[in-house]
Amino acid sequence: MLSLLFILNLSFAGSDILNTSFKAIDGKEKTLSSYFAKAYLVVNIATRCGYTGQLGGLEKLYQKYKEKGLVVIGFPSNDFGGQTPEVEGEVKKFCKLNYGVSFPLTSKYSVKGSKASPLFKKLISASSKEEIGWNFEKFLINSKGIVVKRYKSSHKPKSIGPDIDKLL
């Protein structure tokens, strides 16, 4: 009976993650479930960080797996050293021009502390419960909204491929 309650609880928590709203970079209200994906890679991104080059690796992952059901979503954040000072339109332009980013981006959000976006609060709670440490932390989420794995900033996007393969 307890295991059934645990499974039901995970199921509700997952759907809660999938249905938490946020604004896309164009200002439209979205949820993860609105992308109808088999797997989601949610990343807090920055434009002026030592890890900003990971945008290219994230785009490669997106191109490799999008037809199989992966969506990568970049959440620009200015929480760490003011490393994303640009407004949304400038963030989008920077990502496209410098790294060819075509995966969805959101409006700028806080990802840590009491001002963290509702989605990031849920992702943190559903994973290690540790605050986001820096830009480019990554959350791999399955189609049921369960956080399968969380990756620190230094974890290169290309090394996530085997974990994505398991979900697709």
pLDDT digits (tens, 9 = 90+) for 106-158: 999 999 999 999 999 999 999 988 999 999 999 999 999 999 999 999 999 99
Task: Return the biggest CA–CA distance within the chain.
Answer: 54
Per 3-state DSSP, the chain is made up of helix, strand and coil in percentages (nearest 5) of 40, 20, 40
Burial of 27 (0-12, 13-18, 19+ CB in 10 A): exposed
In order of their start, the domains of the chain are 2-167 (3.40.30.10)
User: Using 50, 70 and 90 to split pLDDT, how confident is the model at 103?
Assistant: very high
Q: Is it the case that residue 13 has pLDDT exceeding 90?
A: no
Name residue, tokens 């199921």: 11
pTM value is 0.91
User: Using 50, 70 and 90 to split pLDDT, how confident is the model at 14?
Assistant: low
- Which of 41, 49, 58, 167 is the catalytic position? 49
Catalytic annotation on 95? Answer: no
Residues 6+ away with beta carbon under 8 Å from 69? 37, 38, 39, 143, 168
- The chain-wide mean pLDDT, for the chain, equals 92
CA pair distance 155, 137, nearest whole angstrom: 8
User: Using 50, 70 and 90 to split pLDDT, how confident is the model at 5?
Assistant: very low
Reported as half-sphere exposure (CB side, CA atoms, 13 A), residue 60 has a value of 11
